[in-house]
Amino acid sequence: MSPRVGLISGSTRVRSTDLTETSPVCTKCAKRDSIYFRPYSGERLCPTCFKRSLKERVERTIARFEMLEHDSRVAVGVSGGKDSLGLLHILAEIERSYPKAEIIAVSIDEGVRGYRDEAISIATEACGDLGVEHLVISFKELFGVTMDEIAASTRELGACTYCGVLRRRALNEAAMRVEADRLATGHTLDDMAQTALLNVLRGDVNSLSRVNPGGSDLPGFVRRIKPYCEVPERESALYAYLEGFRFQELPCPYTGEAMRNDVRGFLNRMEITRPGTMFTVYRTAIKLTPERGETTMMGTCSKCGEPTTGTVCRACQLIDGLREQGPKNA
């Protein structure tokens, strides 16, 4: 038997006197009925004002972190999920005001049968609808191995660790192939706050002080930017729903980095009872980050020639580790 549903809900997020059984008028336009209550700001928004506010927030984020030039060629990492597709829609809309700017979608096929096939097909369909060029490259092509093979292999680390490192490398490779000068990813406010808190819990001060949504110019890397970093995932989901675009519905079969899941649950609960918590965590991490312009000294990987701070890059370390751990992995 299922447990009784808990009632920690909107009714505890605001004073009960503020709530009604019908939708109040939109705080911004004062004309249309609101459909969404934004607990961290107190706004009640209609669909039009909600979507406009999200676009304006992305524009402000781009300006604040000096993410783009008027003629930037931006590779947008599109996984087929709601966040990256939402970002692609908004950037495509912003791009229309900048005739010299260009957007190209890039997707990585990690090789997860069933899951990634669906996502790539959704990404391709969205790019077709938006008239955006789309490049897909695969783990198999770049590293000679799929995520399904990695997941089935003898390994010391979680599948998400391999996927994260290799996907990061693959996205950079894809962005270079399309000759982009920026690589935009759909990291949300939730992702940023989770990463910041994870770094605190792991005692990783160096990573905690490297939260830079505007990215850095590092030799061998396309500058990575996160224009969606101040959009809560809940609002990204609502935007996808209101826009009515198709997005991936299957969960990844390998998902489940235990510590991140714990942090996600904790932050989501705090956000319900203490609205604005995620912004506070994210902004605290931003305050700890030095001003842009400081660069890390980079060398090249002795195995693949890609840029790295060590002698062998993390991607090569992981692939070599898999091969060394048994004939099953060769």
Q: By CB under 8 A, name the binding residues for other proteins.
A: 1-13, 19-24, 33-37, 39, 44, 79-84, 186-188, 190-191, 233-234, 237-238, 241, 247-251, 264-265, 268-269, 272
Pair of tokens at residue 314: 């993390």
Residue closer to other proteins by CB (options 95, 233) is 233
CA distance 128 to 86: 15
The least distance separating other proteins from the CB of residue 268, rounded to whole angstroms, comes to 5
The least distance separating other proteins from the CB of residue 309, rounded to whole angstroms, comes to 26
On whether the CB atoms of residues 43 and 28 are closer than 8 A, the answer is yes
The least distance separating other proteins from the CB of residue 279, rounded to whole angstroms, comes to 16
The least distance separating other proteins from the CB of residue 125, rounded to whole angstroms, comes to 15
Measured N-to-C along each axis, helices 233-243 and 189-202 cross at an angle, to the nearest 10 degrees, of: 160
Residue closer to other proteins by CB (options 248, 308) is 248
Residue closer to other proteins by CB (options 11, 154) is 11
Residue closer to other proteins by CB (options 2, 97) is 2
Residue closer to other proteins by CB (options 278, 313) is 278
Residue closer to other proteins by CB (options 13, 55) is 13
The least distance separating other proteins from the CB of residue 128, rounded to whole angstroms, comes to 20
CB atoms within 10 A of CB 208: 19
The least distance separating other proteins from the CB of residue 8, rounded to whole angstroms, comes to 4
H/E element, 108: strand 102-109
The upper half-sphere exposure of residue 143, i.e. CA atoms within 13 Å in the direction of its Cβ, equals 31
On whether the CB atoms of residues 322 and 248 are closer than 8 A, the answer is no
CA distance 63 to 309: 29
The least distance separating other proteins from the CB of residue 60, rounded to whole angstroms, comes to 22
Residue closer to other proteins by CB (options 57, 264) is 264
CA distance 153 to 202: 27
The least distance separating other proteins from the CB of residue 156, rounded to whole angstroms, comes to 25
CB atoms within 10 A of CB 324: 10
Residue closer to other proteins by CB (options 182, 264) is 264
Phi and psi (nearest 5°) for 157?
A: -110, 165
Residue of 272, 110, 211 whose CA lies nearest to 264: 272
CA distance 248 to 121: 9
H/E element, 141: helix 139-143
Pairing of strands 36-38, 102-109: unpaired
